[in-house]
């Protein structure tokens, strides 16, 4: 999609006044607009000179990466010489560190720093030709090549968005492949994000009136057959437990499933728990007094996926699944709508992710549901990511498991149900909404560490300064904590300051505070935000904690606004089918800044939907709630069949 058509689409959105996310923030409302604009007006080389730390990769903004790269070549001879000598010094330092037995993880930032320096020198080439992202390229002879280089490089988004995503996950220590196909290890940095989501959402779920419970991991296979559609949806790819013992193989070494311990009836690892929970609901529900009944569980589930991507699609994943039972259809429907609202609020308020809320087309519904509501988020490559769903199950599971209740008049009635869930996929949504070529970007409310304080040590024998620094540091940290901020002090004495800055920026910590002996003398410290404000700020120590709390809230808003703008800009509103087809059929997940989503008048038709999927790989992400309720489809013709439209449909490529 060209910039011009993007602007056209946005204008249309404004005129229609129906797309909430478009209407709220069409203009770039930068966290600190003027500062950013002024930086962006400079050439990259000029910008580099106003950076305090020499190695910072300019924070690229959508569409600007390539421009940065081409202008970075405009180095003056002096700058080039200076850069070359820095590169040599860094190379020497790395060799010394390796000789002294530095750890892999401690070395990584040095190597990255070196690469960043090199990329400033020759930005037209990928920073390292030994990148895992392209094995066909020959390894360049390089005095600093180490076996850590491959794994510590972040492909730029514009080079390959899919690789960038995988690099971020690996380099920022979010997750790692495990030796079990399709299953990942969630590492501490990734897990603390999930723990934060868990905590926030758990409160919302309790407010919603559901209580936590826990149901068995294993489900008798016969349960799956009870609900006719459900079995089609979930029996296919699941892990089947057939034995309950291993034994030594008599014919050879090793262990085998003991033939004498075969289960009479195999069990499957839950792909979702509707069947088990409705089996229990039958025992728990007798009267209308027992309704509504709302339970939730935080659990692992397993679906044997053929193609996996960390966080987005893995065989095992963590999620919460809520299940509710109601006396009336209205009660159940309302419950499923309320929960999709909660999920949208979670994304907006905690993760700074704007979403499009809507209903799935009949062919995209959950197996066994009468209506599936979804929240769809837009990733930076223009693809959609289904980020949470809530299902109105009608009476399907109630009937399948014979769950009835006695109503107030004494009559037996079938029970209505819902189920709803979000998963570790939200971490994928978080990464692909905010992060940049320099690494992870975390909204302050979900960041495991909100402020990293880096004390800059005085000279070795300057005891007086050391005492003063430690005292100022203690006060600063106590002040920050008193504001409820999550603070980390990085006082490792074997890592250079620059390497520390680089590491924490890459890990997405929203604010870094530097505190050196000279700062202490002036009663100040230096703030540097991960994104939003390019320049460092000198802040008085007295005001530091208040400014930090305020600045982090502003950053949270800035990230949400930036994402809203992107969503509005990528929402194509007046496209013909041919235009959409042309744009989407050749679109790839790896292409950064792709054409985006298409909101079009549509006559609901499963056959045509399937044809479109074949022709341009696009699916209906949802029938967005707001425009459909506003009747935007009325008096319009379907963009595909030309018949009278029944809905406004949002088409797009999706993960």
Residue ranges in 179-208 that form contacts with its own copies under rule CB under 8 A: 179-180, 183-188, 191-192, 194-195
Please identify, using beta-carbon distances, which residue of 191 and 531 lies nearer to its own copies: 191
* Choice from 63, 214, 228, 588 touching its own copies (CB under 8 A): 214
CA–CA separation, 274 and 323 (whole Å) = 7
* Choice from 11, 37, 52, 245 touching its own copies (CB under 8 A): 245
Distance of CA 276 to the CA centre of its chain: 30
How many residues contact its own copies, by CB under 8 A? 79
Interacting span for its own copies (CB under 8 A) from 123-131, 231-239, 449-457, 509-517: 231-239
Q: x-or-dash pattern for its own copies, window 488-507, by CB under 8 A?
A: ------x-------------
3-state class of 164 per DSSP?
helix
Q: How far is the CB of 265 from its own copies (least distance, A)?
A: 10
Q: How far is the CB of 305 from its own copies (least distance, A)?
A: 10
Q: x-or-dash pattern for its own copies, window 264-293, by CB under 8 A?
A: --xxxx------x--xx--xx-xxxxx---
573 contacts 9 by C-beta, under 8 angstroms: yes
Sheet with 451-455: strands ordered across? 487-489, 451-455, 511-515, 524-529, 537-540
Residue in the structure block whose two tokens are 């970007």: 441
- What's the longest Cα–Cα distance across the chain? 91
42 contacts 26 by C-beta, under 8 angstroms: no
Q: How far is the CB of 218 from its own copies (least distance, A)?
A: 5
Q: How far is the CB of 114 from its own copies (least distance, A)?
A: 19
Our finding on whether 241 is near its own copies (CB under 8 A) is yes
Please identify, using beta-carbon distances, which residue of 40 and 304 lies nearer to its own copies: 304
* Choice from 318, 427, 430, 560 touching its own copies (CB under 8 A): 318
Q: How far is the CB of 103 from its own copies (least distance, A)?
A: 3
Backbone angles phi, psi at 435, to 5 degrees: -75, 165
Q: How far is the CB of 257 from its own copies (least distance, A)?
A: 4
Identify residues 394-433 at the interface with its own copies (CB under 8 A): 406-408, 410
Please identify, using beta-carbon distances, which residue of 227 and 591 lies nearer to its own copies: 227
Q: x-or-dash pattern for its own copies, window 146-175, by CB under 8 A?
A: ------------------------------
3-state class of 117 per DSSP?
helix
CA–CA separation, 46 and 39 (whole Å) = 9
Q: How far is the CB of 399 from its own copies (least distance, A)?
A: 19
Distance of CA 269 to the CA centre of its chain: 26
Q: x-or-dash pattern for its own copies, window 550-589, by CB under 8 A?
A: ----------------------------------------
Our finding on whether 259 is near its own copies (CB under 8 A) is no
User: Burial, 24: exposed, middle or buried (Cβ in 10 Å; 0-12, 13-18, 19+)?
Assistant: middle
Burial 157-178 (b: 16+ CB within 10 A, else e): bbbbbbbbbbbbbbbbbbbebe
Rg over alpha carbons for the chain, rounded to the nearest Å, is 27
* Choice from 82, 211, 543, 550 touching its own copies (CB under 8 A): 211
Contacts of 108 (CB under 8 A, 6+ apart): 148, 152, 171, 503
* Choice from 19, 47, 231, 548 touching its own copies (CB under 8 A): 231
167 contacts 152 by C-beta, under 8 angstroms: no
Query: Ramachandran region of residue 431, left (φ > 0), alpha (ψ -120 to 50) or beta?
Result: alpha
Our finding on whether 235 is near its own copies (CB under 8 A) is yes
Our finding on whether 96 is near its own copies (CB under 8 A) is no
Q: How far is the CB of 535 from its own copies (least distance, A)?
A: 33
Q: How far is the CB of 219 from its own copies (least distance, A)?
A: 7
326 contacts 278 by C-beta, under 8 angstroms: no
């Amino acid at each position: 999609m060209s910039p011009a058509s993007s602007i056209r689409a946005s204008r249309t959105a404004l005129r229609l006044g129906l797309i909430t996310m478009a209407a709220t923030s069409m203009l770039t409302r930068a966290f600190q607009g003027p500062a950013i604009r002024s930086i962006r007006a400079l050439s990259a080389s000029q910008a580099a000179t106003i950076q305090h730390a020499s190695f910072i990769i300019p924070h690229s903004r959508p569409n600007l990466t390539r421009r940065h790269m081409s202008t970075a070549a405009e180095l003056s001879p002096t700058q080039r010489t200076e850069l070359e000598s820095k590169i040599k010094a860094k190379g020497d330092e790395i060799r010394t560190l390796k000789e002294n037995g530095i750890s892999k993880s401690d070395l990584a930032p040095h190597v990255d720093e070196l690469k960043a320096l090199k990329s400033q020198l020759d930005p037209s080439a990928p920073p390292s030709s030994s990148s895992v992202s392209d094995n066909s390229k020959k390894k360049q002879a390089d005095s600093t090549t180490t076996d850590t280089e491959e794994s510590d490089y972040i492909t730029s988004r514009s080079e390959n968005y899919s690789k960038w995503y995988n690099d971020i996950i690996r380099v920022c220590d979010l997750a790692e492949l495990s030796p079990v196909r399709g299953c990942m290890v969630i590492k501490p940095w990734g897990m603390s994000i999930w723990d934060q989501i868990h905590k926030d959402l758990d409160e919302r779920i309790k407010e919603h009136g559901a209580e936590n419970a826990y149901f068995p991991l294993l489900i008798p296979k016969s349960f799956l057959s009870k609900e006719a559609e459900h079995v089609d949806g979930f029996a296919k790819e699941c892990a089947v437990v057939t034995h309950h013992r291993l034994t030594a193989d008599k014919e050879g070494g090793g262990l085998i499933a003991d033939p004498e311990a075969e289960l009479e009836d195999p069990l499957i690892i839950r792909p979702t728990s509707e069947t088990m929970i409705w089996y229990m609901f039958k025992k728990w529900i007798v009267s209308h007094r027992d309704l509504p009944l709302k339970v939730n569980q935080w659990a692992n589930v397993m679906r044997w996926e053929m193609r996996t991507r960390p966080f987005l699609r893995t065989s095992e994943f963590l999620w919460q699944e809520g299940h509710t039972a109601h006396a009336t259809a209205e009660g159940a429907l309302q419950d499923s709508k309320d929960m999709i609202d909660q999920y949208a609020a979670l994304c907006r308020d905690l993760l700074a992710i704007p979403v499009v809320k809507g209903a799935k087309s009949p062919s995209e519904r959950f197996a066994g549901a009468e209506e599936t509501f979804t929240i769809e988020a837009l990733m930076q490559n223009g693809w959609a990511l289904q980020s949470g769903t809530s299902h109105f199950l009608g009476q399907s599971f109630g009937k399948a498991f014979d769950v009835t209740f006695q109503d107030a008049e004494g009559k037996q009635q079938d029970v209505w149900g819902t189920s709803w869930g979000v998963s570790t996929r939200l971490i994928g949504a978080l990464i692909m909404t905010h992060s940049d070529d320099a690494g992870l970007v975390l909204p302050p409310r979900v960041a495991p560490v909100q402020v990293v304080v880096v004390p800059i040590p005085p000279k070795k024998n300057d005891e007086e300064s050391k005492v003063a620094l430690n005292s100022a540091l203690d006060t600063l940290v106590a002040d920050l904590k008193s504001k409820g901020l999550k603070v980390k002090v990085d006082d490792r004495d074997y890592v250079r300051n620059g390497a520390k800055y680089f590491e924490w920026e890459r890990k997405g910590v929203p604010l870094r505070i530097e505190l050196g002996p000279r700062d202490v003398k002036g009663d100040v410290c230096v703030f540097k935000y991960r994104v939003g404000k390019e320049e460092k700020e000198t802040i008085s120590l007295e005001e530091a904690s208040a400014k930090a709390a305020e600045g982090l809230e502003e950053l949270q808003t800035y990230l949400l606004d930036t994402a809203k703008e992107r969503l509005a800009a990528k929402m194509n509103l007046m496209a013909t089918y041919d235009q959409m087809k042309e744009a989407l059929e050749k679109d790839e997940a790896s292409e950064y800044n792709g054409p985006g989503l298409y909101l079009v008048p549509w006559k609901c038709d499963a056959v045509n939907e399937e044809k479109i999927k074949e022709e341009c790989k696009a699916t209906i992400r949802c029938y967005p709630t707001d425009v459909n309720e506003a009747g935007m489809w009325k008096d319009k013709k379907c963009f595909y069949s030309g018949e009278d439209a029944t809905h406004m449909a949002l088409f797009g490529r999706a993960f």
